[in-house]
Structures are given as C-alpha cells and as structure tokens.
Amino acid sequence: MKERTFKVTLRSTLLATLLPLALGSTAQTAGPLHGAIARAQAAAALPAAITDSTPVASTTTVTSGAPLDVPRFEAIASALVANGRIPGMAMAIIKDGKILSARGYGVTDLRNPQPIDAHTVFRLASLSKSFAATMTGILVNDGVLRWDSHLIDYVPSFQLSQPGAAQEVTVADLLSHRIGLTRNAFDRDLEGNEDYHSLTLRLANAPMTCAPGQCYAYQNVAFSLIGDIVFATTGKFYSESVASRIFKPLGMHDASYGLEGIEASARWAKPHVRGRGGWVPLMPKPNYYRVAPAAGVNASISDMAQWLIAHTGHRPDVLPAPLLATLHAPLVTTPTEIHGNGWRRARLTSASYALGWRDYNYSGHNVVFHGGAVQGYRGMMAMLPEQDLGVVILWNSESPLPSGLLPTILDSALGLNGGQWLDDDTVDGSEDLLYAERAGVPAGISSSKAKASPP
C-alpha cells in the first residue's frame, strides 16, 4: 500500500523538481536550479563521491546521442529514498570511459543510520555471474583454458542423469546456462542450508530437459562449477583469482567475496525486508554466498563504475576488446525475459544469454544487462554499446521501485518517449532474482519453509 501511495507522491515530487531540469538540462552554469539540487542533497545527508582514479566528466551533456540529464536522474534517486520509501541505494552512470555520477543515497541501516556513499558495499547477488565469466575469459586469453574445454576434465566426479551427457558439458555451456538441467536446479536445497559440494554430487540424479548445449535454463549451483575449473586451472581459490586478476588491477578496492568479506568492509549496507512497522534490517543470509561464482561478490558503486568502464572497453590492459566481444555475444535465446515487468514487455523485442551477461534488443538497440536479488538486496547493470554508456544501480531492500530508474535512463539516452517506468511497482520479472524471491517466498521466511516451496 505504501508503494502505491508513493507512486502518486513521486509523480508530484518529480514533476515539481524535474520539469525545470528537463527544460534546462543542457545549461552548465551554476544557478538556482543547481543550488536547489545541492540543498536537497545536503538536507538528505547524501554526500556525493567518486572514485579516486577515474576522471569525472565536466559536463552532463553527452558527446553523442541524446542529452543525458544526470542531475535529473540524481534527483529521482534522492526522491526514491526520501521519507524512508526505501532505506538506501547507490547509482553510477559512466560515459565514454568517464564517470558522470557515482554516489549514494539514503542510509545503510535504518536502526543505525549511516549515509551511503560511493564506497559503501552492497551484496551483488547474480551480478556476480559477470565476474565468473570474465575470470574464465582471462584464463582463456592466458591460453590455459578454452571455451570448449570440457568440465569433466577438471571435475572428474561430475555426472548427469543422461548417459554420456556429463562428458559433453563445456566451459561455455556452464556460463550460458546450457547444461540441460531444469531451471534453478537445487536452489531450494541451497535455501535449506545444504552445502554446495553435496548439491553438485546430486546433479547426477537431477532431471534433464535436453542435451548439454541445446537449451537454456538458469542455474546457480551448476553455474558455480566454473569456480572448480578455475581452481583446477590456477591452483588458487576462485575468490583469490578474481581478486588478483580483476579487483586489484581495476582498482575495485572495496570489493570482496562472501559473508566475511562484506562484514569486514569499512561501511556496508544492511539488507532490509518488509515488516509490520516498515523496513526491517537483517544480517545477510549465508546461503547464496556458498555458490560464489553465481552470487558471491560484494562491491561498492565506486567498484561497479570501474567494472562498467572496463566492460565498455576502456581498460584493454585488463579486458581486451576481443574478450569483451566474446563475453557479450548472445549464445542462447531467453524468451521469458521479454514477458517480465512493464519495461521489459514494452521495450524488449528479443532476449538472449551470453557468457555471464544478458543481451537484449531494447527497441532496436543492443543492451548488455544483468540483474540480481537476494534477501534484502537488489541490483541492475546495463551497457548501451552504441552510446558507450553504462549504468549500475544497487539498493539494500527488496523493493522493486528503483528498478524503473534504469530503463528511464536508457530511454533518455535513446530519445525514447512514452515510458512511465518509475510507476511500475510490479515484481521484477527477470530470472536473475535468486530462488526465494523468484518463487514468491517472503523474504523473512525460514529456510526450511523456503525449501518446501515449488520451483
């Protein structure tokens, strides 16, 4: 009920705040408008911050495509956290390899509020899959692994229920969810606290819908076998390889893996779920941290700005262009993605999965995307290659409200009209939500009850 009331409030707030911005978005001189924004930010205790090593663009008008009105998007983010509608969020917008905005809004914990800034750490959930695919691609570039290498050569104990199927599964199959299993295999059991190794052994008896490489079904447990391959190839734990080959060279200084990683962060955002009195902060659940390649990364918005700068081609020293082209290329269609919430139904004409990334046709434009959600955290990231634009939004609650901001930014960059995505309070229809939320299990429910829910 609060979110429906919020839609009316948000419309009126944004109309008053953003109409002048829309009319004067190309004006770069200081004036009453910019002063009002600064006062609003100060009143909400929302300190602006950026990364230390990346230059910030001096203008909010992009050099190609439609004007990108960054103050408008920052004002929307401020409105989303106003009056506790959501506890907090962070957003980064990058263009041509430069940061237009990277800052936090709201607070880390409603019971012990600290302002979210650019270095506040969030749990990334399924956004972690892009790191797994990228780590694998780095090893392919090193010449120690191939995309068509077979899983069984690195994990000899791996079995599937169909004779000969296990021998066919390749590295690329794992990273594009083409193993042949039914979707979200054993996620219920992961929610029920069964350990990762036991679940991988149980894949030997799991039902299959096709031969490996022939069809798509989203996975978390099976996807994470890529971590076993990385360990077998490098002799290092998966998280150590990602830290040394990705986090450190890209300057992702706040990033980490696992529950221990987020709790050790200098400042991190607590997850929030709905309670009778409003938002309730919790401690993060450990379940999906056990499948680190699928859902184990923690990172700040400063880190994620660097991640998108690298994936838009501006760090060839770490991620060369041919590798990026391979990672982002569609491999298997995912038609259910176009039947999700409002912006997906309206804007997507086709959807595919690549290697740890999704590939969308967004009203005739290519968008590379991934989303994620686990109890009390959500996130979305997207790149618009034709405009060299990247956007990432992270928030510390189960609310769907901020998800409308990303297509709002994409529409603005592309000059598309007619979308009212900030009014769309339906549950995000992407499969990137982890099992409990995807299945409609209330976020605060016990693990044993989650296990009993239908897939």
Each domain of the chain, given as residue ranges in start order, spans: 2-118+295-436
- H helix or E strand, kind and range, residue 100: strand 98-106
Q: How far apart are CA 45 and CA 229, in angstroms?
A: 45
- Cβ neighbour number for residue 146 with a 10 Å cutoff: 12
Contact between residue 401 and residue 341 where contact means Cβ atoms under 8 Å apart: no
Contact between residue 69 and residue 17 where contact means Cβ atoms under 8 Å apart: no
pLDDT computed for residue 174 by the predictor = 98
Question: Does the structure show a pLDDT above 90 at 8?
Answer: no
The larger pLDDT score, comparing residue 231 to residue 54, is at: 231
In the chain, what percentage of residues exceed pLDDT 90? 75
In degrees and rounded to multiples of 5, residue 273 shows phi and psi of -125, 170
Question: Does the structure show a pLDDT above 50 at 307?
Answer: yes
pLDDT computed for residue 91 by the predictor = 98
- Mean of per-residue pLDDT scores for the chain: 84
The larger pLDDT score, comparing residue 429 to residue 252, is at: 252
What is the average pLDDT across 280-309? 97
Contact between residue 390 and residue 130 where contact means Cβ atoms under 8 Å apart: no
Contact between residue 116 and residue 88 where contact means Cβ atoms under 8 Å apart: yes
Q: Name the one residue in this structure whose structure tokens are 């998800």.
A: 403
Q: Which range among 47-56, 194-203, 331-340, 431-440 shows the weakest confidence by mean pLDDT?
A: 47-56
Give the contacts of 51 (CB within 8 A, at least 6 positions apart).
99, 102, 118, 251, 302, 305, 306
Q: How is residue 261 written in tokens?
A: 């990683």
Contact between residue 419 and residue 347 where contact means Cβ atoms under 8 Å apart: yes
Instruction: Give the N- to C-terminal CA distance of the chain in Å, as an integer.
Output: 28
Q: How far apart are CA 77 and CA 62, in angstroms?
A: 20
